[in-house]
Amino acid sequence: MEFIFHEKQEGSLCAQHCLNAILQGSYFTAIDLAELGRRLDESEQEHMAEAGYSSEEYKYFMKQPSSNYDDSGFFSIQVLQEALKVWNLELIPFNSSEPICQEARKDPRTQKAFICNFKEHWFTIRHIGNQWFNLNSLLTSPELLSETFLSLFLKQLQHEGYSIFVLSGDLPPCEADEVLRLVPAVQSVKPKLLAEVKPGAGDQTTTSPDEFDEDLQKAIEESRHLDEDNDKTLREALQLSMLDFHLSSPLPVVPENKPEEAVDVEGLRKQRLAFLSQNEPQQGQSRPSESPRTQAQDQPELPTAFPTDDLSEETLLEMAIKLSMENSV
């Protein structure tokens, strides 16, 4: 945007700003345009004098103020047309039957620029690079117009009473046109009107990145607060949902640890001793004579897991306790 030449409104010099915007440079001053206006007045006076200096028409004309310029800085369409003739450019009314105007009404994107006027205010709409811009001097900076919005914008201006002129001819080359062909402009925030800018905010020709619309700032701030409220509400809802889930879910059944049954060590010891005493001969008594095979058959056999001949009493006791615990399970 900084490559686009854009003059801000000074007094009533909108015609000067309009011409310099369309040519993209400081080509005209108020003095230059006033001189053109004076020449037009002289030309009109000579034309009226053809009927005679003493004619009522001439006398009436001479009493009227200039219709081409005044001390406030206003300039007529005739002055603008005269200024553009230097560049072989011409302004044609938008509603004219000229082929260029018919094409402009059909598709304004085919044109190079438009000049608009309403209540003595002039401003330019121009094609720069591959984009369209509203170069109104009442704005703080150029306004980017999409190709879709261009047609709607022109219709809106006509509806509001603007007079629109189509520019015919080849515009002089400019730096902005070359730059924007390579790097198109991007505008996230529309420029303000100068009347909306607070005094002392600076008078640069382009808007800085920090120059945001107040309404947009408020909307962004409200959106942030809304997001924070939504996040807080969501967190509370999740907490309540989790609480409800825990209350409604059955508690897990924890298996109770059964106390281990006390092992009667003394009882096991007595049983072992009784078992052994039954298989031992009493003192002074002798067993009847039996064959080794018969004695082996009649004597109850211990399980192979209990080799009683080689185990100590403590080991046997431990094994008995272990078997007792396994059977209880």
Long-range contacts of 245-250 (CB under 8 A, 24+ apart): none
Residue 176 has which token pair? 């902005």
Please report, in angstroms and rounded to a whole number, the separation of the first and last CA atoms in the chain: 89
Query: Would you state the pLDDT for residue 54?
Result: 82
Specify the DSSP class assigned to residue 69. B
> What value, to the nearest 5°, has the Cα angle with vertex 53 and ends 52 and 58?
90
CA distances, 70 to each of 12, 30, 120, 265, 289 (Å): 10, 11, 12, 129, 161
Residue 208 has which token pair? 């800085």
Specify the DSSP class assigned to residue 260. P
Query: Which residues, listed in sequence order, are joined to residue 167 by a DSSP beta bridge?
Result: 91
> Which parts of the chain have pLDDT scores under 70?
198-265, 268-269, 272, 275-314, 316-317, 320, 323-329
Contact 34, 76 (CB under 8 A): no
Query: Would you state the pLDDT for residue 312?
Result: 64
- Over residues 223-265, the pLDDT tens digits come to 445 445 555 655 665 566 565 545 555 555 544 554 545 556 6
Query: Would you state the pLDDT for residue 264?
Result: 62
Helices in the chain by DSSP H: which ranges? 14-23, 30-49, 56-63, 77-84, 99-106, 147-159, 175-182, 214-248, 265-278, 292-298, 313-328
Q: Please choose, from the candidates 75, 82, 93, 94, the residue with its C-alpha nearest in 3D space to the C-alpha of residue 16.
A: 75
How many other CB atoms sit within 10 Å of the CB of residue 139?
20
Cite the active site residues: 14, 121, 136
Query: Would you state the pLDDT for residue 165?
Result: 98
Q: What is the DSSP string of 113-150?
A: EEEEEETTEEEEEEEETTEEEE--TTBSS-EEE-HHHH
Q: What are phi and psi of 116, to 5 degrees?
A: -120, 145
Cα 58 to Cα 39: distance, rounded to the nearest angstrom: 17
Cα 46 to Cα 63: distance, rounded to the nearest angstrom: 15
Query: Which residues, listed in sequence order, are joined to residue 127 by a DSSP beta bridge?
Result: 132
Give 112's contacts (C-beta < 8 A, 6+ positions apart). Answer: 126, 127, 167, 171
Contact 176, 4 (CB under 8 A): yes
Q: What are phi and psi of 69, to 5 degrees?
A: -165, 165
